[in-house]
Structure 1
Amino acid sequence: MIEKMTLSDYLYQELTAQIRAGRLKYGQSLPTARRLCGRYQVGIRTVRDVMARMRREGYIQTRERRAPAVIYQEKAQAENEQQAVCALLSRRESILQVYETLGTVMPDLFWAGARRCGEEEFRALERVAKRSAHAGVKDSWRLSSAVLHGILAQARNPLISDLYSSLEIYCQVPVLAGRADPFARVIAEKAPFAWVIEPLRQGDRAQAELRIGRMYRGTGREVAVYLEDLSAAFPAVGEDPQAAYRWNAAKGRTHLYAEIARELIDEIGRGRWPDGGYLSSGQALAKRYGVSLYTVRQALQRMEALGFIQVRNGRGAQVTLSRVGGNDRDYFADPAQKRDALIYLQALQLTAMLLRPAARAAFDNMGPESALRMEQELARNGAAAQKALLETVVEALPYRPLQGVFQEVGGLLLWGQHFLFRPSMAVRLPELKRRCAQALERLRSGDREGFAQAAAGSYDASFCWVRSLLCAAGLREAEELRSLEET
């Protein structure tokens, strides 16, 4: 059964989980409504609704002209601190893997944002970065985070900012009384933060990757020491798989009927429902997905609008692939279709950006079986080979949080599954196949960098094609996103 989570539910769960885990402590102020809107990509109405709910349930106290303050105190102080320690140590390994993930993928994402920054934007960001060098631990971390979010915002892809916020929030570590602050050591011992963003401004990609990677991995090492010290004092607390890092990329952006439509389109692509055949009855689909018949009818209406089926009275929904790809301007005039297409384009861009550093990290774990799988899919078509390429990289990744990120983005890629059925896609399949064959060749020859570039290039090619299609259909927002070659 497909479950739905609204933006309000997601924001509520994120904030209350941080409070219960001790990352937002008693008496501490929450971020302002404006910052919550930017960090979680939600509207001010959603933030106000969540604040009202948290106030009613005793998590926060709202104050006139001031940010809400945490008032949640479930137990006495000693018990509360022990609860925070247990919550922290239960995700110890996941936190450290998130730092490795940040060190792996963020250099490429910051680079993409920095390429869109002008001189005026960089001067403003550098002024904030210099202020962080003279601030206390809390303010220094806050100012540094503001600079990094500012750089990412220039990429014009809300998924990038949302992913970074999710990773950043998860690896925040509450500093307990009597313990040395690992972030204070990072700030005291590492180079000024301005040193990190300097190569981004100068256009020196190699130095940017080196310094940003060092920043996150160095912080991860300090946090590891802190967590090891806590583990020695609380040896009975083990890792909890349920507390592992998770990112909900589709939070509140989708509807049940749209999810069902995408799954059925994916099954058509895999041959379960052949062209000219009929889908299961509405009652059977409703039972399968655990939804009402009305929801199934909404899904079928979505598929019919895309051209995948034609509902015939008394016979059911017939698959009609020849009707896929009608008038794009009419189709994208529907706000829901426009939104889904743009999210798919954003997911393609993010996949291309993540795949280069991910392929590097996975390379040593990719053996002959990975190459054989890619070779077998190449015998089918370019789209199958591209999907197999991504899956083999993700399976070989040494970091579970990054695997989870790709799984979430993969779910968003289903939002554009219908593009693969368009007649114009047939012209591009040979190019996808060529790029995947090139990646396979680099893998077999032991060329890590060449493999990473070819793998990312295959998704970048798909991104460029879909972007051109959406621009031609009049979606101006698509013009804001840039390919790898343009960054």
Structure 2
Amino acid sequence: MNTKETKFDYVYRNLRERIVSGVIPKGNRLSSSRKLCDEFHVSIYTITNVLNKLKEEGMIEIEPRKTPIVVYNTNENKGLAEKILSQRDVFLQLYETMALIIPPILTFSSKGLESINLLPHYIEIEKIKKRTLPPDKWRIISNIYRDIINRSQNPFIEDLYNNFELHSYLSFFAEEQKAYTGISIRDSIPDIKHLVTKLNLSDPLKRYEHFNKVYNTAFSIIKCSLENLEKSVKTLPAQTGEFTWDIRRGKNYQYRQITQDLIDKIGRGIYPYDTFLPSEAMLAKEYNVSVSTIRKSLSIMFQIGFTKTINGKGTLVITPSDANNYEINKFPNLKQDALSYLYALQLMLLIIGIASYRAAEKFSESEIEILTDNAKDTNTISFDNLLSEIINKTDLKPLKEILIQTNEVIEWGYYLSLYNNKTQSIYKLNKKSLQACYYLKKKDYHSFAFEMEDCFRLILKAVRKYMIEVNNIKEAKDIFIP
């Protein structure tokens, strides 16, 4: 099993990077411990340890009955310009990825937003309407956009947006770079009145046009800024760094990973119904864990109706009944895993069209023929092969990482294992995959991208309905279909 960072590591890295990058500048206060617990979905114990660590490093000061205040001064980092240049390629790909996927995500998240004054940070706009805009106007706009992102109620979308903020060093490009290049990303920030007007429009297309213009203008300015910044140094530093994102945020427990993987393999037919799983010792060796961890996974699978133990023989794979699947709602961890599956599908639906369109022209005729033949085979999940090829052909590394991470949560076998008539489920998905291949062959890349989106829409609708009606997971009703 892959070793993932702990909850402490994730929260510490996240908060520290916000301070160092200037997202939370000197003199500003962090959110309260309670709000940090809600944001990162961790205990007060973890937050307290993180804050103590930041205090030890001289990043923050902690005062009684007050939220921690940042004392680290970003301007003291004299080598920041060189650090930015050493990650030039990362920034270019990052801001291009942001320009591609944040506008549709913001547009979706703003659905149902009747007025901008419903947003928590709207009061900041009201305060500055009648006076000169402060130099850090970009922070206010960023907060407004984050308010919109939070309306999605999708923890993966919220975390991805926060991760973009960490990696983008927006404070440098908005404030400090002007000393080096004479230009600033602040030039791309819309006028406050313009922002209010656009966000108060109910037409989603108009909102998308607004978000798209802001982020694409920012990307253009970043490109120009980095070119000018290069001229300010004698030698360009060696390129380092990469975009990273851990979608599970330190919650990748081994027994839950194994449970999901086994259910996935059952759905795919690797472990067919009415056959026995490998022995506990063999599974422990395969996953490189203890037998007790395997037993914990098998216990969960028994409780939700995927297996039963036959004395003297082993663990038999069975078809889960509706009565068994209802048990998922009684186990908080399993319930959260089920919701995470829907959240990942929702995020993938929002970005797969963009990735598919960019990757489409990279498919060779022979590859399209193979994918087309696979889509005609009712015993294989051709959509899985098609998605893998799109991910492999994605040239933007941040976008590729996001696709990989999101796809890790989406287990096709899990989707198929919910239904007794697995053949019919595969047929529906393969039919749409076949249509996607047809568009790909005709070089109709827009239709190809839409068909890929529709595949995820089909799955999200089906699984969401199942979780509401069979598993009785009421929270699934709040996960909307883009």
TM range (shorter): 0.7 to 0.9
Displacement, 1:419?
3.1
SS of structure 1 residue aligned to 2:309: strand
Displacement, 1:480?
0.7
> Do the aligned residues in 1 keep the contact of 2:303 with 2:327 (CA within 8 Å)?
no
SS of structure 2 residue aligned to 1:63: coil
Task: Describe the shift of the 1:144–1:279 C-alpha distance in structure 2 as closer, same or farther (beyond 3 A).
Answer: same
Task: Describe the shift of the 1:53–1:292 C-alpha distance in structure 2 as closer, same or farther (beyond 3 A).
Answer: farther
Q: What letter is aligned with 2:253?
A: H
> Do the aligned residues in 2 keep the contact of 1:41 with 1:162 (CA within 8 Å)?
no
Displacement, 1:244?
0.7
> Which residue in 2 is equivalent to 1:185?
184
CA distance in 1, matches of 2:116, 2:230: 47
Does 2:47 align with 1:50? no
SS of structure 1 residue aligned to 2:62: strand
Task: Describe the shift of the 1:179–1:196 C-alpha distance in structure 2 as closer, same or farther (beyond 3 A).
Answer: closer
Q: What letter is aligned with 1:475?
A: I
Instruction: Spell out, residue by residue over 1:170-191, the C-alpha distance to the aligned partner (whole angstroms, 9 max, x if none).
Output: 1124539685388973334654
> Which residue in 2 is equivalent to 1:329?
326
CA distance in 2, matches of 1:189, 1:423: 53
Instruction: Spell out, residue by residue over 1:228-254, the C-alpha distance to the aligned partner (whole angstroms, 9 max, x if none).
Output: 3444416252222xx211111111334
Task: Describe the shift of the 1:178–1:12 C-alpha distance in structure 2 as closer, same or farther (beyond 3 A).
Answer: closer
> Which residue in 2 is equivalent to 1:118?
114
Displacement, 1:12?
1.0
> Which residue in 2 is equivalent to 1:143?
140
> Which residue in 2 is equivalent to 1:62?
62
Task: Describe the shift of the 1:387–1:132 C-alpha distance in structure 2 as closer, same or farther (beyond 3 A).
Answer: farther
Displacement, 1:257?
0.3
Q: What letter is aligned with 2:194?
A: W
SS of structure 2 residue aligned to 1:322: coil
CA distance in 2, matches of 1:424, 1:277: 17
> Which residue in 1 is equivalent to 2:162?
165
CA distance in 2, matches of 1:454, 1:162: 27
CA distance in 1, matches of 2:128, 2:283: 56
SS of structure 2 residue aligned to 1:317: strand
Displacement, 1:275?
4.1
| Deviating more after overlay: 444-453 vs 183-192 | 183-192
Does 2:392 align with 1:392? no
> Which residue in 1 is equivalent to 2:92?
96
Displacement, 1:448?
2.4
Task: Describe the shift of the 1:372–1:62 C-alpha distance in structure 2 as closer, same or farther (beyond 3 A).
Answer: farther
> Which residue in 2 is equivalent to 1:304?
302
> Do the aligned residues in 1 keep the contact of 2:340 with 2:409 (CA within 8 Å)?
yes
> Which residue in 1 is equivalent to 2:414?
418
> Do the aligned residues in 1 keep the contact of 2:268 with 2:416 (CA within 8 Å)?
no
CA distance in 2, matches of 1:31, 1:228: 34
Instruction: Spell out, residue by residue over 1:403-449, the C-alpha distance to the aligned partner (whole angstroms, 9 max, x if none).
Output: 100111111113x7433122155444333222222222222222222
Does 2:436 align with 1:404? no
Q: What letter is aligned with 2:184?
A: R
Q: What letter is aligned with 2:31?
A: T
Displacement, 1:104?
0.8
> Do the aligned residues in 1 keep the contact of 2:94 with 2:168 (CA within 8 Å)?
yes
CA distance in 2, matches of 1:158, 1:289: 28
CA distance in 2, matches of 1:431, 1:121: 44
> Which residue in 2 is equivalent to 1:214?
213
> Which residue in 2 is equivalent to 1:460?
457
> Which residue in 2 is equivalent to 1:256?
254
Does 2:445 align with 1:448? yes
Q: What letter is aligned with 1:47?
A: I
Q: What letter is aligned with 1:221?
A: S
Displacement, 1:345?
0.9
SS of structure 2 residue aligned to 1:156: coil
CA distance in 2, matches of 1:198, 1:357: 27
| Deviating more after overlay: 283-292 vs 109-118 | 283-292
The answer for unaligned runs of 5 or more in structure 1 is none
| Deviating more after overlay: 370-379 vs 57-66 | 57-66
> Which residue in 2 is equivalent to 1:3?
3
TM-score in terms of structure 2 length: 0.86
> Which residue in 1 is equivalent to 2:477?
479
Q: RMSD across aligned C-alpha pairs, in angstroms? A: 3.4
Q: What letter is aligned with 1:260?
A: I
| Deviating more after overlay: 375-384 vs 352-361 | 375-384
The answer for unaligned runs of 5 or more in structure 2 is none
CA distance in 1, matches of 2:39, 2:366: 41
> Which residue in 2 is equivalent to 1:237?
237
Match of 2:340 among 333, 338, 343: 343
> Do the aligned residues in 1 keep the contact of 2:177 with 2:184 (CA within 8 Å)?
no
CA distance in 2, matches of 1:328, 1:178: 56
CA distance in 2, matches of 1:187, 1:22: 16
CA distance in 1, matches of 2:472, 2:181: 50
CA distance in 2, matches of 1:245, 1:382: 37
Task: Describe the shift of the 1:68–1:178 C-alpha distance in structure 2 as closer, same or farther (beyond 3 A).
Answer: same
> Do the aligned residues in 1 keep the contact of 2:201 with 2:207 (CA within 8 Å)?
no
Task: Describe the shift of the 1:224–1:426 C-alpha distance in structure 2 as closer, same or farther (beyond 3 A).
Answer: same
Q: What letter is aligned with 1:92?
A: R
> Do the aligned residues in 1 keep the contact of 2:111 with 2:204 (CA within 8 Å)?
no
CA distance in 2, matches of 1:354, 1:368: 25
Task: Describe the shift of the 1:155–1:181 C-alpha distance in structure 2 as closer, same or farther (beyond 3 A).
Answer: farther
CA distance in 2, matches of 1:383, 1:463: 20
SS of structure 1 residue aligned to 2:381: helix
Displacement, 1:148?
1.0
CA distance in 2, matches of 1:183, 1:346: 42
> Do the aligned residues in 2 keep the contact of 1:111 with 1:200 (CA within 8 Å)?
no
Instruction: Spell out, residue by residue over 1:301-334, the C-alpha distance to the aligned partner (whole angstroms, 9 max, x if none).
Output: 222234333333443333x143465433233222
| Deviating more after overlay: 361-370 vs 126-135 | 126-135
CA distance in 2, matches of 1:402, 1:150: 23
Task: Describe the shift of the 1:377–1:304 C-alpha distance in structure 2 as closer, same or farther (beyond 3 A).
Answer: farther
Instruction: Spell out, residue by residue over 1:183-233, the C-alpha distance to the aligned partner (whole angstroms, 9 max, x if none).
Output: 973334654255356445424444433332231222123223333344441
> Do the aligned residues in 1 keep the contact of 2:10 with 2:250 (CA within 8 Å)?
yes
Does 2:198 align with 1:202? no
Instruction: Count residues with an aligned counterpart.
Output: 474
Displacement, 1:466?
0.9
